Structure 1
Amino acid sequence: MTDFKTTGMAALSQVIDPELGVDIVSLGLIYDVTNDAQGHCVVTMTLTMMGCPLTDILSNRIVTTMKAVAGVEDVAINLVWSPAWSIARMSREARVMLGV
């Protein structure tokens, strides 16, 4: 049986950043995803920049996606700025897609 982090990251890889057209896991925006016995899911993430105009759109897509995962009752997003996001956090595939 896979652990929740693997399942959660797989689900979150379906959330596409509407501006960049790449999923948020490959972009390196997701730092952690957990779920406790009561179904409380916490997604720890960052953004490419503070004040990102797509924050609400991404948050809504994350919540909707994670609520569809078995065992998840509610979702909280823990937005952090440390460690800071950089291009180095992106997967090789994301860098190729974006021409970086």
Structure 2
Amino acid sequence: MTESELKEEVIKAIKSVYDPEIPVDVWELGLIYDLKIFPVNNVYVEMTLTSPSCPSAGTIPAEIEQKIREVEGVNDVSVELTWDPPYSQDMMSEEAKLELGFL
């Protein structure tokens, strides 16, 4: 599998994770700030949450890591949580904004 194919599969895995309070996946919400595939198929994800007091702060990053680990060909996964820049609704995709009635 090429790096771009693996990246597509990782994005599919990330899109299967939803914020339990919002019926939109974390990718479309704009919670993923960076996604890198390193040699030997190590995956790095930098992400945020909708707020520092998010009740799912412990579960969403762990679920993302677990879903990525299930992707065939992935060697290792590192998920880093950041609050900089702070999350805003502007980070949502058009699809997410439509789904949530913001458009």
In structure 2, C-alpha distance between the alignment counterparts of 1:39 and 1:62, rounded to whole Å: 16
Unaligned runs of 5+ in 2: none
Cα contact 1:44–1:79 (8 A) shared by 2: yes
Could you list the per-position Cα deviations for residues 1-58 of structure 1 after superposition, in whole angstroms to 9, with x for gaps in the alignment?
5614333222211111111121000000011222322343211111111121101111
Unaligned runs of 5+ in 1: none
Cα contact 1:35–1:72 (8 A) shared by 2: no
Report the CA distance between 1:74 and its aligned residue: 2.5
Cα contact 1:34–1:42 (8 A) shared by 2: yes
Q: Which residue of 2 aligns with 1:10?
A: 12
Tell me the TM-score normalized by structure 1. 0.85
Q: Which residue of 1 aligns with 2:75?
A: 73
Q: Which residue of 2 aligns with 1:82?
A: 84
> 3-state SS of the aligned residue for 2:33?
strand
1:24 aligns with 2:26: yes
Tell me the TM-score normalized by structure 2. 0.83
> 3-state SS of the aligned residue for 1:17?
coil
Report the CA distance between 1:79 and its aligned residue: 1.1
- Paired residues, number: 100
Higher helix share: 2
